[in-house]
Amino acid sequence: MKKIILTTITIAMGIAGFSQEKYFTRDGHIKFFSSTPVEDIEADNYKVTSVLDETTGKVEFAANMKSFEFEKALMEEHFNENYVESKEYPRAVFKGSVKDFKMGSYNDETQVTVSGKMTMHGVTKDVEFPGMIHFADGNYQMTSKFMISPEDYKIEIPNTVRDKIAKEMEVTVDAKLGPLK
């Protein structure tokens, strides 16, 4: 009986210790912004999932394409049906790591580089982005701002609206990750 109790306690402690190494959110934020002389386009997604493994610096972000909200309903409809084809390609995913991640050294906002693979619209590309990371009150705050080209992910923009959509879009990522429980 003692062996069973000790084994159970050991397993429970191992699981508890393991979960403290991973940080998670389901309400991260991704915004993209396209600016041209003709029109500015902005969309927000507040349902971004992210996981950070504190022991390795590995990080993943996943965004459902249909969760992007636009100011105009018609823009949102065109985005999902004509451009990102969200029925066929429902998610954008980044899997990578924070370069030179050092657990316990982010008490101040620290500039980092994140590299890995981004998959969107059925295309996977190696990418590298600048970012900031900060650890406070038991949570990691991760932010990044970078440019992305729809053409790199085979997202076709029809000639009729080409002047309204920038060739590169500014993407802003902001996520507060708490301990995975």
CATH code (residue 131): 2.40.128.110
pLDDT exceeds 70 at position 33: yes
Q: How far, in Å, are 61, 157, 176, 181 from residue 95 at the CA level?
A: 7, 26, 17, 21
Report if residue 141 sits inside a domain. yes
pLDDT in tens, 87-107: 999 999 999 999 999 888 899
Report if residue 11 sits inside a domain. no
For residues 121 and 93, the answer to whether their CB atoms sit within 8 Å is no
pLDDT in tens, 34-80: 998 989 999 999 999 999 999 999 999 999 999 999 999 999 999 99
Report if residue 6 sits inside a domain. no
Report if residue 63 sits inside a domain. yes
- Count up the domains in the chain and report the number: 1
pLDDT exceeds 90 at position 15: no
Q: Say how many Å lie between the first and final Cα of the chain, rounded.
A: 28
Tell me the C-alpha distance between 103 and 54, whole Å.
6
- Banded pLDDT at 19 (limits 50, 70, 90): very low
Single pTM value for the model: 0.83
Residue 78: give the domain boundaries: 22-179
Q: How far, in Å, are 1, 7, 10, 18 from residue 13 at the CA level?
A: 18, 10, 5, 8
Q: Which residues pair with 13 in a beta bridge?
A: none
- Banded pLDDT at 20 (limits 50, 70, 90): low
Q: Which percentage of the chain shows pLDDT scores above 90?
A: 76
Stated length of the chain: 181
Residue 77's H or E segment, with its range, is helix 73-78
Distance from CA of residue 66 to its chain's centroid?
15
Report if residue 59 sits inside a domain. yes
Report if residue 15 sits inside a domain. no
Vertex 123 angle, CA 44 and 91, to 5°: 40
Report if residue 4 sits inside a domain. no
CA atoms within 13 A on the CB side of 69: 6
Q: Which two tokens stand for residue 100?
A: 């030179």
